[in-house]
Amino acid sequence: MLPLQLSYTKHIFILQLTTMWLENFWNYIFFLFSQVNRISDREYVSMPTLFHFDDYDHCMLEGDNALYCAITYQLHPKNSENISETWNLIQEVSSSRKNYRHDLLRHGICVPKTCPNVVIADVSRNNLKFVQELEECYNLKYQNLGLEGKIQKIRCENNESPYSVNTFDYLFGTFLLFFILLIIFAWLYDVFLGPNTENDLKNLEKTFFGKYISSFSLSQNWNRLHAIDLEDPVVKALSGIQGVRFFCMVSVIFSHCSSVNFAMPVSNPRYTEAVPDRFSVRWLGNGSRYTTIQTFFLMSAWLVTYQFFANNEGKKEVSLSYFFRSCVSRYFRLTPLIAIVVGCFGTWMPHIGRGPFWDDFVGTEYRACRTNWWSNLLYVNNFVHLDKMCAPQLWYMAIDTQFYIFALLILCLTWKNPKRTSLILGTIWIFHVVDAFLVVYQNDYEVSIPLYPEIFYNLTLVHAEETLLSYKTNTSNIPGFLAGIVYGYAFYKYRNKKLFTKKIHTIAWWILSSGLAILIILVPGVVDDYNLFSENRTLYSAIYASLNRSIFIFGIGFWIFGMTQGQGHIFKSACEWPPMYVLGRLTYSAYLFHTFIQRVKIGMKRTPNYMNDYLMIMDSTGDLALSYLAALLVTLFFEMPFAEIKKHVTAALKKSRSREDNLQKLDNKKSD
Series of mean pLDDT values for 10-residue runs along the chain (672 residues):
45 46 41 54 92 96 93 92 91 90 95 93 88 94 93 93 91 94 90 74 73 86 86 87 94 89 92 79 59 90 94 84 90 94 94 93 92 93 84 92 94 86 94 92 73 72 55 87 95 92 93 90 78 80 90 95 93 92 95 94 94 92 96 95 87 68 57 56
Separation of alpha carbons 258 and 327, rounded Å: 36
Phi-psi region of 391 (alpha: psi -120 to 50; beta: other; left: phi over 0): left
Burial 260-275 (b: 16+ CB within 10 A, else e): bbbbbbbeebbbbbbb
- Distance between terminal CA atoms of the chain? 110
Nearest to 478 by CA among 567, 561, 545: 545
User: What pLDDT is attached to residue 636?
Assistant: 94
State which amino acid sits at residue 499: L
Instruction: Dump the DSSP string for 149-178.
Output: EEEEEEEEE-SS-S----HHHHHHHHHHHH
* Other C-beta atoms lying within 10 Å of the C-beta of residue 405: 15
Separation of alpha carbons 474 and 462, rounded Å: 18
Contact predicate 447/545, CB 8 Å: yes
State how far Cα 10 lies from the chain centre: 53
User: What pLDDT is attached to residue 668?
Assistant: 55
**Bridge pairing between strands 51-53 and 104-110:** parallel
Q: What is the 3-state secondary structure (H, E, C) of 49-80?
A: CCEEECCHHHHHCCHHHCCEEEEEEEEEECCC
Kindly tell me the burial class for residue 315, based on how many C-beta atoms sit within 10 Å of its own C-beta (0-12, 13-18, 19 or more).
Answer: exposed
State how far Cα 296 lies from the chain centre: 11
Largest CA distance in the chain: 111
Instruction: Report angle CA 183, 184, 185 to the nearest 5 degrees.
Output: 90
Nearest to 461 by CA among 297, 259, 314, 213: 259
Instruction: Collect all residues with Cβ–Cβ distance below 8 Å to 503 and sequence separation of at least 6.
Output: none
Nearest to 215 by CA among 568, 670, 652, 665: 652
- Can you list the pairs that 334-338 forms with residues at least 24 positions away whose Cβ atoms lie under 8 Å? 334/397, 334/401, 334/588, 335/377, 336/638, 336/639, 336/642, 337/588, 337/589, 337/592, 337/634, 337/638, 337/639, 337/642, 338/376, 338/377, 338/394, 338/397, 338/592
CB-facing half-sphere around the CA of 232: CA atoms within 13 A: 7
Contact predicate 261/619, CB 8 Å: yes
Nearest to 523 by CA among 490, 548, 553: 548
Separation of alpha carbons 601 and 391, rounded Å: 16
User: What pLDDT is attached to residue 315?
Assistant: 83
Nearest to 175 by CA among 328, 348, 335, 365: 348
Nearest to 272 by CA among 612, 620, 617, 614: 612
Is the alpha carbon torsion for 154, 159, 164, 169 positive or negative? Answer: positive
- Hey, is 654 helix, strand or coil? helix
Kindly tell me the burial class for residue 363, based on how many C-beta atoms sit within 10 Å of its own C-beta (0-12, 13-18, 19 or more).
Answer: buried
User: What pLDDT is attached to residue 660?
Assistant: 57
Of how many residues is the chain composed?
672
